[in-house]
Amino acid sequence: MNILGIDFEDWFHPELIQKYLQKKNHEPKIFQGIEKIIDLLRKNETNATFFLVGELLEFKPELQDMIIENGHEIAFHTMKHSRIDSYTSPEKFEMEIINFDNLTNGKSKGFRAPSFSLNHNSSWLIDILEKNNYVYDSSVVPAKTKLYGLPNAENKPYRITKECLEKNSDDGKILEFPLLVTKFLGKKIPAGGGFYLRTLPLRIIKNSIKSYQKNNFPAVFYIHSWELTPEFMPKIKMSKQDEFVTYHNLNKAYGKMDELLKEFKFTSFDNFIQNSK
Ligand SMILES: [Zn+2]
């Protein structure tokens, strides 16, 4: 069994877009796309974890029921999609987690750092998750990219601690679920979704999922809500490189995800953890 997380965020949340936006308040559009995302999961009989940007629940509280009533899980993706190293103190982050847990009645057991920004400067995050009774994290990409990555991290799930982000520690309380990676032209690269889903040939992604399955551990996959609903994604003027990362093959993501969901079995993090007990 593999694991699917949907990073549920609006068009103005991605880090590469945020830096081009002048004002702070934007009209949310993603609510128009939630039915389409839930339908995609329903027709493929898949449950998923929705890593929610918390402020979307403040705009539209019904979102929570729509996700839960359809058998999916809610997890935390910060309140405003902030990089972890942008918090001026661990307490500021903890206030957000407490706020989110109030909004969701403590349903969230998992976390994903925006832009996979968990690294050695922000490892205090693990202690805050523990303290607030979180069970798992999925913020580690075991490959080096321009924007993120912990290339020496394990590929299979492990117990993570503040002192050791990349290897299993038996006394760790938080389960880390690293994102799917693969070898491509002799280099370790991400293959677990997003830009890499849009850009890599599907055959390469399928082979990497198969090799994880053969080794008996889950391929952890992610997709952004806005990649599944490009019709609600405005085109922002940005540098050529940022534009490529944000918009390249955007209209192919839905079809590729659909094909993967038809060929492989995915479930939510919580279901996966419950089933492996
Ligand atoms: Zn995100």
Looking at every residue in the chain, the average pLDDT score rounds to 95
Residues in the chain: 277
Report whether pLDDT(24) > 80: no
Residue 166 near residue 153, CB atoms below 8 Å: yes
CA gap 233, 248 in Å, rounded: 13
Q: How far is the CA of 118 from the centre of ligand 1 (A)?
A: 12
CA gap 262, 268 in Å, rounded: 16
- Provide the strand spans (E) within the chain: 2-8, 49-52, 73-76, 110-111, 136-137, 158-160, 174-176, 181-184, 187-190, 220-224, 266-267
Tokens of 29: 């559009």
Give 220's pLDDT tier (boundaries 50, 70, 90).
Answer: very high
pLDDT of 62-76, one tens digit each?
999 999 999 999 999
Q: How far is the CA of 8 from the centre of ligand 1 (A)?
A: 7
Give 186's pLDDT tier (boundaries 50, 70, 90).
Answer: confident
Q: How far is the CA of 216 from the centre of ligand 1 (A)?
A: 28
Output the CA torsion sign for 175, 270, 3, 198: negative
Name the residue type at position 182: T
Q: How far is the CA of 148 from the centre of ligand 1 (A)?
A: 13
| pLDDT at residue 146, as a whole number | 86
If you write DSSP's letter for every residue of 81-145 in order, what string do you get? ---GGG-SSHHHHHHHHHHHHHHTTT---EE--GGG--STTSTHHHHHHHHTT--EE----SS--
| pLDDT at residue 21, as a whole number | 87
| pLDDT at residue 215, as a whole number | 96
Domains (range + CATH), the chain: 2-275 (3.20.20.370)
CA gap 13, 147 in Å, rounded: 16
Q: Would residue 121 be called left, alpha or beta, if left means φ above 0 and alpha means ψ between -120 and 50 degrees? A: alpha
Q: How far is the CA of 62 from the centre of ligand 1 (A)?
A: 21
| pLDDT at residue 29, as a whole number | 86
CA gap 271, 277 in Å, rounded: 10
Give 112's pLDDT tier (boundaries 50, 70, 90).
Answer: very high
CA gap 270, 254 in Å, rounded: 24
pLDDT of 130-140, one tens digit each?
999 999 999 99
CA gap 43, 54 in Å, rounded: 27
Tell which residue, 69, 2, 59, 52, has the closest CA to residue 27. Answer: 59
Q: How far is the CA of 77 from the centre of ligand 1 (A)?
A: 7
Q: How far is the CA of 275 from the centre of ligand 1 (A)?
A: 27
Give 192's pLDDT tier (boundaries 50, 70, 90).
Answer: very high
Q: How far is the CA of 208 from the centre of ligand 1 (A)?
A: 23
CA gap 166, 150 in Å, rounded: 7
pLDDT of 116-155, one tens digit each?
999 999 999 999 999 999 999 999 999 999 889 999 999 9
Residue 198 near residue 191, CB atoms below 8 Å: no
Q: How far is the CA of 222 from the centre of ligand 1 (A)?
A: 10
Q: How far is the CA of 115 from the centre of ligand 1 (A)?
A: 6
Report CA-CA distances (Å) from 38 to 48, 61, 72, 134: 9, 17, 9, 25
- Point out which residues pair with 189 in neighbouring strands: 182
Output the CA torsion sign for 56, 248, 41, 189: negative
Q: How far is the CA of 195 from the centre of ligand 1 (A)?
A: 12
Report CA-CA distances (Å) from 143 to 16, 152, 175: 20, 7, 19
Q: How far is the CA of 52 from the centre of ligand 1 (A)?
A: 8
Question: What's the mean pLDDT in 165-186?
Answer: 95
